[in-house]
Amino acid sequence: MDGLPDGTYAIYRDLTEEKRAQNELSRFFTMSLDLLCICGFDGYFKRLNPSFQRVLGHSEAALMAEPFINFVHPSDREGTLAEFSKVERGEVITGYENRYRCADGSYKWLQWASMPTTETRTVYAAARETTKQHLAEQQLREALQMKADFVSFVTHQLRTPLAGIKWMLELSAEAADREESDSYVGDARESADRLISLVNDLLDVSRLENGRIQVHAETIDLHELTESVVGDVSTLVRQKEHDLQVEVDAARPTVVADSQLLRQVVLNLVSNAIKYTPAGGRLRIRIGQHEGALRWEIEDSGIGIPKASRAGLFEKFFRAENAQTIDTEGTGLGLYLVRLIVERLGGRIACESEEGRGSTFRFVLPSATAPEVLQ
Ligand code: ADP
């Protein structure tokens, strides 16, 4: 640096040092996997690293064009502004979380660390995406809630018939004559049967949910199976004076499936149609082909399903309000089981209904089920 005035070299060296340090910082800023930004006290982003675009999908220009609060989830805005005003007052914030809107309209959780510089009226902030942790926590909360609901449901469902059985047996012991005693024992047996069928349903649900159920592949004549189920429920149909007919418009409606499981599906749907149709109803079972698949449906003229209840119809323990006035003993497990079985057999189930006018439950099964579905 010959020929330069004294001290010039030192200034030059300091400037080069500063430039090098700036370059280094700039590289870290660009490379960081976390979201780094500088935001003005006026509420606008001044600088953003590329992670913002990678995580949220908005361009840098789009993010800088409007106040950052516009990107925050409406429910988190109040809390975010409160935190921001703390930073404006000179506080350092760590761990605050809020949701940011992405370019596709979804939201992602971000966890923030922010530090203000009051002289330049700016906030330096770093954020990390925590959406996965939030989802995991939410799933855990839901699972715990479901477990609690399940335990409370099952204990309630078991306690009522068990108490009934005890009471019937006590009455039977005190009965004046044999006939009275037999009638109490008969009632106790009915309650015990209901308990056994509830426990069996719960076991089936658990096996199907865990994929631990044995599925035997066999060729089944769906018409034959349906007629056999109709035979089993004929006493009930007669008692309620329903008109039940089976109509078949397929040459030979055969499917490869598990006959025990398929029987359970048909029995559940037929029993529901009988149960939820006031006496003297019209029930039609139709078996036919539909786009290369086998279609089975039952139409009833019963109480129907309120619109608001249709979404939950095939969920565990679901019962519509209008059903509870007709049958107080129901468990809401039947249709859930039906759905699990139909899906396990590679098919689909649906329902059309109008409250007060009747319902149609329909399932389709592939005529020739792929062997892997039944394994
Ligand atoms: P459960 O009959 O024990 O309540 P299900 O799982 O078989 O349980 O049915 C769930 C609910 O779906 C019933 O409580 C009832 O609200 C509604 N449902 C099922 N089948 C019919 C039907 N054929 N007509 C009207 N409602 C029905």
Separation between Cα atoms, residue 373 and residue 57, nearest integer Å = 39
287 close to 255: Cβ distance less than 8 angstroms: no
pLDDT number for residue 3: 59
- Centroid of ligand 1 to alpha carbon of 319 (angstroms): 6
Residues with CB under 6 A from ligand 1: 268, 272-273, 276, 300, 302-305, 313, 318-320, 323, 330-336, 359
**Would you write out the chain's pLDDT as a tens digit for each of its 375 residues?**
455 666 676 777 777 888 888 888 889 999 999 999 999 999 999 999 999 999 999 999 999 999 999 999 999 999 999 999 999 999 999 999 999 999 999 999 999 999 999 899 999 999 999 999 999 999 999 988 888 888 888 888 888 889 989 999 999 999 999 999 999 999 999 889 888 988 888 888 888 888 888 888 899 999 999 999 999 999 999 999 999 999 998 677 888 889 999 999 999 999 999 999 999 999 999 999 888 889 999 999 999 999 999 889 999 889 998 998 887 778 899 999 999 999 999 999 999 999 999 999 999 998 764 444 444
Q: Which two tokens stand for residue 208?
A: 């199907």
pLDDT number for residue 358: 96
pLDDT number for residue 368: 61
Q: Please name the residue whose Cα sits nearest to atom 25 of ligand 1.
A: 304
pLDDT number for residue 371: 47
CA distances from 314 to 144, 336, 341, 353 (A): 21, 5, 12, 14
Tell which one of 237, 265, 282, 305 to mutate to probe ligand 1, the residue whose CB is within 8 A of the most ligand atoms: 305
Residue listed under structure tokens 């799933």: 139
**Residue 208: CA count within 13 A, CB half-sphere:** 19
Separation between Cα atoms, residue 33 and residue 190, nearest integer Å = 65
H-assigned helices in the chain: 8-31, 51-56, 60-65, 77-88, 131-174, 178-209, 222-232, 234-239, 259-275, 321-326, 334-344
pLDDT number for residue 370: 45
Separation between Cα atoms, residue 182 and residue 168, nearest integer Å = 10
- Centroid of ligand 1 to alpha carbon of 321 (angstroms): 10
Separation between Cα atoms, residue 367 and residue 347, nearest integer Å = 10
Separation between Cα atoms, residue 135 and residue 145, nearest integer Å = 15
